[in-house]
C-alpha cells in the first residue's frame, strides 16, 4: 500500500504523497477525505492535528479494506466511488465528509461486520 508517515510534520506532505500515488490533485484528495481544500495554508495547530488525525484514520480504513482489491488504485476508487447501501448510497468518502470522525467510525464498524461475515 502507499506509504504514509506515522507522524507527519505537516498534513500537506501526506496529501501530496497520496495525490502522487493516485494521480489526483492535492486539493481533490483533501476534498475526498473531508479536509480544507488547501490544508498547507491552515497552519494553526488545531487544523494540523485535524489533518494528521483524519489522514491517519483514512489510511487505517484503506489499509483494512486493501485485501478486498487488486491494487491500491482500486482501493482508492472504492473509497471515492463505491455506493454503499447501508449508508444510503453514499460513497465512503461522502460518509467521511458528511459525518467526519463519526463517519470514519461507522465505516470501520461496517468493515468489522463484513469481516465477520455480514452482508452489505
pLDDT confidence tier of residue 16, bands split at 50, 70 and 90: confident
d(C-alpha 16, C-alpha 107), whole Å: 24
C-alpha cell at 87: 449508508
Evaluate whether residue 81 is within a structural domain: yes
Evaluate whether residue 100 is within a structural domain: yes
Report the 10 Å Cβ neighbour count for 31. Answer: 16
pLDDT, tens only, 19-50? 888 888 888 888 898 887 665 555 577 777 78
Evaluate whether residue 6 is within a structural domain: no
C-alpha cell at 36: 480544507
Handedness of CA 68, 69, 70, 75 (dihedral sign): negative
Q: Provide the whole-model pTM.
A: 0.80
Number of domains in the chain: 1
pLDDT, tens only, 57-113? 998 999 899 999 998 889 999 999 999 999 999 999 999 999 988 999 999 999 999
From the list 118, 103, 115, 100, the residue with the least C-alpha distance to 50 is 100
Evaluate whether residue 97 is within a structural domain: yes
Range of the domain at 60: 11-115
Amino acid at each position: 500500500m502507499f506509504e504514509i508517515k506515522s507522524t507527519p510534520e505537516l498534513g500537506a506532505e501526506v496529501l501530496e504523497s497520496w495525490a502522487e500515488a493516485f494521480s489526483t490533485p492535492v486539493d481533490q484528495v483533501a476534498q475526498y477525505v473531508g479536509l480544507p481544500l488547501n490544508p498547507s495554508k491552515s497552519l494553526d495547530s488545531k487544523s494540523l492535528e485535524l489533518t494528521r488525525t483524519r489522514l491517519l484514520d483514512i489510511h487505517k480504513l484503506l489499509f483494512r479494506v486493501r485485501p478486498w482489491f487488486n491494487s491500491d488504485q482500486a482501493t482508492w476508487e472504492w473509497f471515492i466511488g463505491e455506493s454503499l447501501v447501508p449508508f444510503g448510497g453514499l460513497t465512503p468518502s461522502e460518509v467521511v465528509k458528511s459525518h467526519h470522525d463519526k463517519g470514519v467510525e461507522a465505516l470501520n464498524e461496517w468493515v468489522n461486520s463484513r469481516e465477520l461475515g455480514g452482508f452489505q
